Structure 1
Amino acid sequence: MALTPFISQDKASGELQNAVLELMQLDATLSANIPQSLRLPMIDLVRQVNSFYSNKIEGNLTPPADVLRAQENPTSENAAEDLLEIKRHIEAQRRLSAEPIDQVAICSRESIARIHRVFYQGIPAENMHIKINSDGETAFLVPGEFRTQGVRVGQHTPPSAEAMSSYWTWFERTYRLDRLHGVSPILAAAAAHHRLMWIHPFLDGNGRTGRLFTDQYLRAAGLGSYGLWTISRGFGADVEAYYGALAAADHVRKGDLDGRGELSDSGLLKFTEYFIATALEQVRYFSSLLEPRMLSQRIDNYFEMRKQGALLSTTGMELPVLRIEARDVYRRLLNYGPMERSEIRAMLSMSESFVHNLLNQMVDEGLICQEGCKPVSLRLSRHSIDFLFPALF
């Protein structure tokens, strides 16, 4: 087995090391500064963003408005397969994020096979026949089962099924996070993303499984706000650049000055620089979205336009007028967290019927959550996403 594990710290340029350090610092700042009341709604929204872009890379062109509606409606038998795929991907993220991450087991073949199974859970057996070559030949895909035959992916021929066992042993040993320190876990995340794609362990679903793995790995590597931002948004924003960077790292070694492994070290360096630059771009973008002063201004503008009845829904319908007091409720929930109805009534100094009607409208529109006797809490309405978080999709 001869693959360079990752661009080690002693071989990374000062510029690359500084980029990793900036990524870690911005990530920590984002995690510390986001209002606690906004953390869970934002994580839920980013799952939808992640699903949109990760599936877009694979040719799923479900419109953002449909992605945002996907979690509000029960699955219909007549729903388009692309939309069902989005829903499964969001649910896979939810399930995986709810499980503890082990720094040793995260890169094990069992863990990655589980990610693959979770992603494909719920797909009918009749939809699991996968086209495996240009002649139209198909094979039956078993979720979580590694391929037992050779494949070709574009210009890349992955390792044979017989050779995969030794590659897995190498992968598990190389990317254990309990043995990596400093900036190495982030540099390793970039390499592990490429190496997993290069091994191509499954007949189908390698791209989305690989990106779900990278989501898990970045969290385990110490990026505490990952989930409030997603690198897949950067990958999916320019799919050609993403595939180009992966292809550069696929190249075989170009002489003795290009490393000592099977693959090009210069190609791996290009992919690592691309990976870190993409992650840095995304954490900067999401940090700017959540910057308190600018977010507050967008909230003011949104509710002012709602008071005037000047906004449309994601389907082009005119949204109903919403009293400006809704802004005060929303802002208070954002800054201070969940509130009892009695506290809201006292804050607004309005009648019980007024508060009841206002909160009911905000619930119907997805701006707040009000369940039984639980306190009222903040939500992110799909109708407000484009306004509060511009250029998210």
Structure 2
Amino acid sequence: MTSIVPFLPQDSAPGELQEAAVELMKLDAALNAHIPESLRAPLKFMLRAVNSFYSNRIEGNPTQPAEILKAQLNKEKDLEDDLFEIKHHIDVQRYLSQQTLDPLEICTSGFLTGLHKSFYEGMPDKFLSVENPKTKEKINVVPGEFRTRNVKVGKHVPPEHEELTRLINWFSTAYRPDRIFGTSRIFAAAASHHRLMWIHPFMDGNGRVGRLFTDNYMKYCANLGGYGLWSISRGFGRDVDAYYKALAMADMERQGSGDGRGILSDKGLLKFTEYFIDTALGQVKFFYELLDPKRLNERLDIYFEMRNRQALTGVSGEILPQPRPEVKTIYKELLSTSSGTLERSEIGKMLNLGEKTIRTILSQMVSEKLVDAQPRKPVKLSLSPNSVEILFPRLW
């Protein structure tokens, strides 16, 4: 038996915390119902880059948002190490989004090692070793394998490597979503994030794997259907010191007989759970306000006005050309459609223009990543890296 409290019991959580968990679930549902269909796929695409930026920022990656947006726009092949790491992280998220995941698998050893393997496979050799800060020994990182030696991370001494199999087995049972109900799933999402980080199962990559795990737990196991339209990693990464402080609080050993029955402090877990839910609430509220249709429409007008005046600079530093007047009309119509798509024939009738002219207009929009217009398929809205700063201020 593992003497670790898995998460705060719902009936013993403070009333304010229970109310905050309920509010999180309500706001997530409201956000999920609030987002136009046309924005869902492009927003999730953009948020993968935002997630990667913040998750890697926590680990010390200095890449700036403009570099990520430029790489997305130009599809550069020869990337600097830090940018390559972020792009690979984005690719892992894209891969996961294309899978049909079983909620009962999210906490298992197979899923966790699969996350680690996906992140490290294909990485250059320089990413596949870590250095012992005392002995300077180079230690190999094997993709998808738990660590086979003991480690120390700052002040935290994770469990010995011989304990990993038992602890991960406990983890997979403790957080099974079919055994957790109501707001307890929110408490479990918070606690499982810390407990996985505390176990520290891999030689390297535990933070990024832990946050990828939590993204999927929130989406598939915690009844947060809007997750993916907002991101908790963004909240963690905007105040890294607060994130590490909250993790350290939950790392504390039990402080006497009044601090729970497990080996770790219940008071520390409460503090981390409060931090986690407060951070999640902040992110849901931010994205709800950011995606308010009226405000978004106003920012869209500003974007096209600046484009018309050739007063907007792209992520590569060039002055963006003046678009044809029809571009704004098509973009706004796509944003407002219930399906999120338009047939070329619909666009032609709407603008009273011929097929050749429509093809020319769409070609310009595709080149700027304002739309996705594949042959013989409906035209879909896209989010150009050049428009993000205006349409979604403070996203990064």
Please give the TM-score of this superposition, normalised by the length of structure 1: 0.97
User: 2:202 matched to 1:202?
Assistant: yes
Displacement, 1:104?
A: 2.0
Matched ranges for 1:13-52 at <5 A? 13-52=14-53
- The residue aligned with 2:95 is 95
- 344-353 or 238-247: bigger deviation: 344-353
Displacement, 1:352?
A: 4.6
Displacement, 1:69?
A: 3.0
CA separation of 1:149 and 1:75: change in aligned 2, threshold 3 A: farther
- 88-97 or 116-125: bigger deviation: 116-125
Given that 1:189 and 1:217 are in contact with CA atoms closer than 8 Å, whether structure 2 keeps it comes out as: yes
User: 2:377 matched to 1:374?
Assistant: yes
Displacement, 1:72?
A: 4.0
- The residue aligned with 1:256 is 257
AA partner of residue 387 (structure 1): I
Given that 2:104 and 2:177 are in contact with CA atoms closer than 8 Å, whether structure 1 keeps it comes out as: yes
User: 2:365 matched to 1:362?
Assistant: yes
Counterpart CA distance in 2 for 1:121 and 1:132 is: 22
- 349-358 or 3-12: bigger deviation: 349-358
List per-residue Cα deviations over 1:87-137 (Å, max 9, x = no partner). Answer: 110011111122222222211111101010011121134541221333211
- The residue aligned with 1:287 is 288
Counterpart CA distance in 2 for 1:328 and 1:74 is: 28
AA partner of residue 268 (structure 1): L
Given that 2:344 and 2:379 are in contact with CA atoms closer than 8 Å, whether structure 1 keeps it comes out as: yes
Counterpart CA distance in 2 for 1:96 and 1:326 is: 33
- The residue aligned with 1:224 is 225
User: 2:392 matched to 1:389?
Assistant: yes
Counterpart CA distance in 2 for 1:129 and 1:245 is: 28
- 291-300 or 161-170: bigger deviation: 161-170
Q: Secondary structure at the match of 1:90?
A: helix
- The residue aligned with 2:273 is 272
Counterpart CA distance in 2 for 1:127 and 1:212 is: 18
Q: Secondary structure at the match of 1:143?
A: coil
Counterpart CA distance in 1 for 2:245 and 2:100 is: 33
Counterpart CA distance in 1 for 2:367 and 2:104 is: 44
Counterpart CA distance in 1 for 2:63 and 2:356 is: 41
CA separation of 1:126 and 1:49: change in aligned 2, threshold 3 A: closer
AA partner of residue 395 (structure 2): L
AA partner of residue 244 (structure 1): K
Given that 2:72 and 2:385 are in contact with CA atoms closer than 8 Å, whether structure 1 keeps it comes out as: no
User: 2:297 matched to 1:296?
Assistant: yes
AA partner of residue 63 (structure 1): Q
- The residue aligned with 2:172 is 172
Displacement, 1:143?
A: 0.6
CA separation of 1:216 and 1:88: change in aligned 2, threshold 3 A: same
Counterpart CA distance in 2 for 1:21 and 1:312 is: 43
Counterpart CA distance in 2 for 1:108 and 1:27 is: 26
- The residue aligned with 2:122 is 122
AA partner of residue 83 (structure 2): L
Counterpart CA distance in 2 for 1:57 and 1:327 is: 38
Displacement, 1:357?
A: 2.9
Q: Secondary structure at the match of 1:253?
A: coil
- 93-102 or 218-227: bigger deviation: 93-102
Counterpart CA distance in 2 for 1:135 and 1:215 is: 35
Counterpart CA distance in 2 for 1:171 and 1:325 is: 55
List per-residue Cα deviations over 1:311-349 (Å, max 9, x = no partner). Answer: 111233211011332111001111112112222122122
Counterpart CA distance in 2 for 1:75 and 1:223 is: 35
Given that 2:73 and 2:385 are in contact with CA atoms closer than 8 Å, whether structure 1 keeps it comes out as: no
Q: Secondary structure at the match of 2:130?
A: strand
Name stretches of at least 5 consecutive residues in structure 2 with no aligned partner: none
Counterpart CA distance in 1 for 2:140 and 2:288 is: 43
Counterpart CA distance in 1 for 2:59 and 2:75 is: 24
Counterpart CA distance in 1 for 2:341 and 2:383 is: 14
Q: Secondary structure at the match of 2:198?
A: helix
Q: Secondary structure at the match of 1:222?
A: coil
Counterpart CA distance in 2 for 1:169 and 1:2 is: 13
- The residue aligned with 2:59 is 58
Counterpart CA distance in 1 for 2:14 and 2:341 is: 47
AA partner of residue 364 (structure 1): S
Given that 2:70 and 2:315 are in contact with CA atoms closer than 8 Å, whether structure 1 keeps it comes out as: no
- The residue aligned with 1:2 is 3
Matched ranges for 1:113-152 at <5 A? 113-125=113-125, 127-152=127-152
Please give the TM-score of this superposition, normalised by the length of structure 2: 0.96
Counterpart CA distance in 2 for 1:333 and 1:132 is: 54
Counterpart CA distance in 2 for 1:188 and 1:120 is: 27
- 287-296 or 66-75: bigger deviation: 66-75
Given that 2:70 and 2:316 are in contact with CA atoms closer than 8 Å, whether structure 1 keeps it comes out as: no
Counterpart CA distance in 2 for 1:233 and 1:126 is: 27
Counterpart CA distance in 2 for 1:371 and 1:100 is: 25
- The residue aligned with 1:315 is 316
User: 2:349 matched to 1:346?
Assistant: yes
Counterpart CA distance in 2 for 1:68 and 1:177 is: 36
Matched ranges for 1:318-329 at <5 A? 318-329=319-330
State the identity %. Answer: 53
The number of aligned residues is 392
AA partner of residue 159 (structure 2): P
CA separation of 1:299 and 1:65: change in aligned 2, threshold 3 A: same
User: 2:107 matched to 1:104?
Assistant: no
CA separation of 1:175 and 1:251: change in aligned 2, threshold 3 A: same
- 131-140 or 29-38: bigger deviation: 131-140
- 344-353 or 138-147: bigger deviation: 344-353
Counterpart CA distance in 2 for 1:5 and 1:284 is: 28
AA partner of residue 373 (structure 1): R
